[in-house]
C-alpha cells in the first residue's frame, strides 16, 4: 500500500488529484504537446495544449490559484496522458481534434452534429448535373459552398437552374428519358436527355455555372447582357427573352440585403456575444461574393470562461472537420490569435487571415453578425428559462426531489409484430438531447407478435443493465431522473418488473396514456402506488409532456419505417456467403431477378463478371443442395 496515496485521500479528493498530477510531472518534458486528464474510470475530463507542457501542468498543482470549476476537475483527476508535438501550432490542431471527438466535460465544447450542404457540379458523366450535396465529398466534381442551410442552397439551386439550364435529374432518369420533362417546359433545364442542346453548347453552360460559382459573376453577367443586346438587335426576340430571364435569375442569386463588402469573395464572418455566463456565436458565410446564409451556435463552457478563450476554442473545433476560407472576420480577437491563424493556415494549406475590422463595410458586416449573436442568445436564454420552469413543473407534478435533469421517454413501433423496434429520446435542461437518443432492434426470439409489454421489458432491461455496467455509481450523468412510458397501467407494470429484477428502487417511472377515445388533451398519468390522474387541458406541463411523448412516437415510427424499407430491399442473395453488394448488383444486372439467379446453371453463373468458378459452384450449391453441391 502506498502511504502517500492514503495521506492524500485523508486530505480529500482535491489533494489526491494534486498528488496524481505531481507524480505525472516526474516524466513530463518542457516541449509543446497535448495533455489529457483522466478520472478513475479512464474517461477524459479535459484536453489541453501547451507550448511548455511541464510549465502548464505545474499550474494544476496550485489549486488555490484556480477557479472552483478547475478545482473540481483536479479533484476528479487520477491519471494523465500526454502527446508531444513538433510545435505549438500542431498541438492546437491536435487539441481541437481531440476535444471534438472526445467531448471532455471540462472543455469548452462546440456541439455541432450537422454538416453543411454544398452545390455540386458533377464530373462523372458526359452531361454534368448541378445538385445539392451533403456529407463526404466522394463523388467526382466541383463543390461550392458551404451554405448555412438546405433552404439557402435550394434557393440558389433554383436560380442557377434558371440561369444555366443544367440538368438536376439522376443518371438513371436521364438515361431512360426520350422526351423533355416538366423542367424543360418551365425553362429550368435545356433537356440534354432529349437532344435539345448540343454537347458543345451544354459544356458552355456548365463552364458558365462554374465561373459564376467561383466568383466571376460580373464577367458572366456582362457576357449574357452583351448576347441579349446582340439578339435584340438581330430581331431574335425569343433568344433575347431567354437571356433576359437568365440574367434575372443570376440577379436573384446575388440579391441579398446583407451583401458582401467590396472585395470580400471567400470569407466567414464570426461574432461572439456573452451574457449571463453563456455564449452565442453567429457564423455568416460568403462565397464567390454571395451571402450563403448564417447559423447560430451555443458553445458549452463554464460561467467564468472569458470571451477570447471561448472564441479560440470555437474556431479550432469549428474548422476541425471543414476547410477554413482565406479570410475570417471577427468582432473580437481570440486568445493567442497568431497561433490560431497559423494553425488554420496549416490546415487549409494556404494563408488564412483573422481580422477584427475597425472601419468600413467589413465593420458593418461584423456588427450585424454581433447583433444576430446577441439576439440569438437572448432567445436561447428566454427559451431556457421557460424550459426550466417546465422541468420544475414536471418535478412538482410527479413528486420528485428536484427538477429532472434527464428525462428518458420510450416507445415501440411495429406492424403486427414485424420489424419491431424500440426508441428512446432524452430531454434535459438544455432541451432535447438528440445525441443521446437511441434505437433498439427487438431481439427476443420467443416474443409473441405485437406484445408491447414484452418489447418494453426488453428495451428497458438492455438500457438499464448497460447503465449498471458502465456507470454503477451514477457519476457520469447518464442515468435518468424520470422514465416516461407511452402507455398505461400495463406498460407501467412491465417497466416496474424490470426495475425489480435489476434491483433498482429509486427511479421515477410514469406512464402517459391517452383518454378513452385516444384524444390528446385527456391524457391520464400512471405512477406506482398512486391513482391515475389528469391535468387541465391547457396546462403548460401537459403540453410539455405531450410533446415529449409525441417526439418519442415519431422517432419510433421513423426507425421502424427505415428498418422495414431495408427489409424490402433484401433478397435471397443477401444470405449467400461471399456475395456482397457489388457481386449482388452484377448478378441482378445479368439475370434480372433473384429467382433467375437461383435457376441459372453453373456455367451461366461463372459467366458473370466478378463471379469466379469457385464462387459459382458455391452459389449453385446454395440454391441446389439436392445436387450435392
Q: What is the mean pLDDT of residues 19-48?
A: 90
pLDDT tens digits, one per residue of 152-173: 788 778 878 888 888 988 888 8
Comparing 162-166, 269-273, 546-550, 623-627, the range with the smallest average pLDDT is: 623-627
Count of C-beta atoms within a 10 Å radius of residue 504: 15
Q: What is the pLDDT of residues 239-277, one digit of tens each?
A: 787 778 777 767 666 555 445 555 677 899 999 999 878
The answer to pTM > 0.75 is no
Q: Are 401 and 393 in contact (CB under 8 A)?
A: no
What value does the mean pLDDT take over residues 303-331? 91
Beta carbons within 8 Å of 194's beta carbon, 6+ residues apart:
177, 178, 179, 180, 184
What pLDDT is recorded for position 270? 95
> With contact defined as beta carbons under 8 Å apart, do 282 and 372 qualify?
yes
What is the bridge-based pairing of β-strands 524-526 and 353-355? unpaired
Q: Does 3.30.420.340 match the CATH number of domain 407-566?
A: yes
In this structure, what are the phi and psi dihedrals at residue 409, rounded to the nearest 5 degrees?
Answer: -120, 130
Q: Give residue 77's pLDDT.
A: 93
Q: Quick one: pLDDT at residue 98?
A: 92
Q: Do domains 267-378 and 407-566 have the same CATH topology?
A: yes
pLDDT of residue 112: 67
Domain ranges of the chain: 3-102, 118-254, 267-378, 407-566, 572-627
Question: 356-360, 427-431, 565-569 — which is least confidently predicted?
Answer: 565-569
- C-alpha to C-alpha distance for 195 and 124, rounded to whole angstroms: 19
Q: Please state, rounded to an integer, the average pLDDT across all residues of the chain.
A: 83
Query: What percentage of the chain exceeds 90 in pLDDT?
Result: 31
Average pLDDT of span 530-542? 87
Check whether 322 has a pLDDT greater than 90: no
The predicted-structure confidence for 591-609, as pLDDT tens digits, reads as follows 777 777 877 888 888 888 8
Architecture of domain 3-102: 3-Layer(aba) Sandwich (3.40)
How does pLDDT run across 499-530, given as a tens digit for each residue?
Answer: 989 888 889 999 998 765 555 567 899 999 88
Beta strands in 371-497 (DSSP E): 407-415, 418-428, 431-432, 438-441, 482-486
Is the domain spanning 572-627 CATH 1.10.150.20? The answer is: yes
Judge whether residue 381 has pLDDT over 50: yes
Confidence of residue 361 (pLDDT cuts 50, 70, 90): confident
pLDDT level of residue 331 (50, 70, 90 thresholds): very high
Question: CATH says 267-378 is which class?
Answer: alpha beta
Q: Is the pLDDT at 588 greater than 50, yes or no? A: yes
Question: Is the four-CA dihedral 525, 526, 529, 531 of positive or negative sign?
Answer: positive
pLDDT value at residue 5: 43
Amino acid at each position: 500500500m502506498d502511504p502517500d496515496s492514503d495521506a492524500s485521500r485523508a486530505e480529500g479528493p482535491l489533494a489526491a488529484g494534486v498528488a496524481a498530477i505531481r507524480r505525472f510531472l516526474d516524466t513530463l518534458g518542457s516541449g509543446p504537446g497535448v495533455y489529457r486528464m483522466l478520472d478513475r474510470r479512464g474517461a477524459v475530463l479535459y484536453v489541453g495544449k501547451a507550448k511548455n507542457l511541464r510549465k502548464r501542468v505545474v499550474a494544476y498543482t496550485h489549486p488555490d490559484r484556480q477557479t472552483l470549476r478547475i478545482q473540481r476537475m483536479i479533484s476528479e483527476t487520477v491519471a494523465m496522458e500526454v502527446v508531444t508535438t513538433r510545435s505549438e501550432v500542431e498541438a492546437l490542431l491536435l487539441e481541437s481534434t481531440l476535444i471534438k471527438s472526445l467531448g471532455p466535460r471540462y472543455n469548452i465544447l462546440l456541439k455541432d452534429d450537422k454538416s453543411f450542404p454544398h452545390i455540386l457540379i458533377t464530373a462523372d458523366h458526359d452531361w454534368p448535373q448541378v445538385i445539392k450535396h451533403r456529407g463526404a465529398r466522394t463523388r467526382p466534381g466541383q463543390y461550392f459552398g458551404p451554405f448555412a442551410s438546405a433552404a439557402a442552397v435550394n434557393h440558389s439551386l433554383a436560380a442557377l437552374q434558371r440561369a444555366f439550364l443544367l440538368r438536376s435529374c439522376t443518371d438513371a432518369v436521364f438515361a431512360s428519358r426520350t422526351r423533355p420533362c416538366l423542367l424543360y417546359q418551365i425553362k429550368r433545364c435545356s433537356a440534354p436527355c432529349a437532344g435539345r442542346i448540343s454537347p458543345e453548347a451544354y459544356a458552355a453552360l456548365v463552364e458558365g455555372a462554374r465561373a459564376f460559382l467561383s466568383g466571376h459573376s460580373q464577367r458572366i453577367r456582362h457576357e449574357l447582357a452583351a448576347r441579349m443586346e446582340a439578339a435584340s438587335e438581330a430581331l431574335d426576340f425569343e433568344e433575347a427573352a431567354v437571356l433576359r430571364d437568365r440574367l434575372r435569375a443570376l440577379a436573384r442569386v446575388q440579391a441579398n440585403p446583407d451583401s458582401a463588402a467590396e472585395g470580400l469573395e471567400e470569407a466567414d464572418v464570426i461574432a461572439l456575444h456573452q451574457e449571463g455566463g453563456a455564449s452565442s456565436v453567429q457564423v455568416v458565410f460568403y462565397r464567390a461574393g454571395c451571402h450563403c446564409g448564417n447559423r447560430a451556435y451555443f458553445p458549452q463552457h463554464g460561467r467564468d470562461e472569458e470571451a477570447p478563450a471561448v472564441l479560440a476554442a470555437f474556431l479550432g473545433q469549428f474548422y476541425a472537420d471543414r476547410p477554413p476560407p482565406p479570410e475570417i472576420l471577427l468582432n473580437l480577437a481570440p486568445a493567442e490569435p497568431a497561433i490560431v491563424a497559423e494553425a488554420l493556415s496549416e490546415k487549409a494549406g494556404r494563408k488564412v487571415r483573422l481580422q477584427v475590422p475597425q472601419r468600413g463595410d467589413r465593420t458593418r458586416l461584423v456588427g450585424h453578425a454581433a447583433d444576430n449573436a446577441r439576439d440569438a442568445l437572448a432567445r436561447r436564454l428566454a427559451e431556457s428559462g421557460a424550459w426550466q420552469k417546465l422541468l420544475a413543473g414536471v418535478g412538482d407534478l410527479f413528486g420528485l426531489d428536484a427538477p429532472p435533469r434527464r428525462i428518458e421517454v420510450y416507445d415501440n413501433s411495429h406492424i403486427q409484430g414485424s420489424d419491431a423496434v424500440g426508441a428512446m429520446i432524452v430531454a434535459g435542461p438544455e432541451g432535447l438531447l438528440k445525441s443521446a437518443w437511441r434505437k433498439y432492434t427487438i431481439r427476443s426470439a420467443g416474443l409473441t407478435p405485437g406484445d408491447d409489454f414484452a418489447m418494453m421489458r426488453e428495451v428497458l432491461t438492455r438500457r438499464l443493465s448497460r447503465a449498471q455496467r458502465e456507470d454503477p455509481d451514477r457519476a457520469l450523468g447518464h442515468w435518468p431522473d424520470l422514465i416516461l412510458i407511452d402507455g398505461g397501467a400495463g406498460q407501467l407494470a412491465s417497466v416496474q418488473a424490470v426495475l425489480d429484477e435489476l434491483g433498482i428502487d429509486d427511479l421515477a417511472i410514469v406512464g402517459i396514456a391517452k383518454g378513452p377515445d385516444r384524444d390528446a388533451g385527456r391524457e391520464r398519468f400512471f405512477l406506482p402506488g398512486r391513482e391515475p390522474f389528469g391535468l387541465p387541458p391547457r396546462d403548460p406541463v401537459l403540453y410539455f409532456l405531450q410533446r415529449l411523448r409525441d417526439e418519442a412516437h415519431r422517432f419510433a415510427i421513423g426507425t421502424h419505417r427505415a428498418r422495414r424499407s431495408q427489409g424490402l430491399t433484401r433478397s435471397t442473395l443477401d444470405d449467400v456467403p461471399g456475395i456482397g453488394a457489388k457481386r449482388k448488383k452484377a448478378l441482378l444486372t445479368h439475370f434480372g431477378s433473384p429467382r433467375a439467379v437461383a435457376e441459372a446453371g453453373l456455367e451461366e453463373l461463372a459467366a458473370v463478371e466478378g463471379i469466379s468458378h469457385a464462387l459459382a459452384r458455391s452459389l449453385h450449391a446454395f440454391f441446389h443442395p439436392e445436387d450435392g453441391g
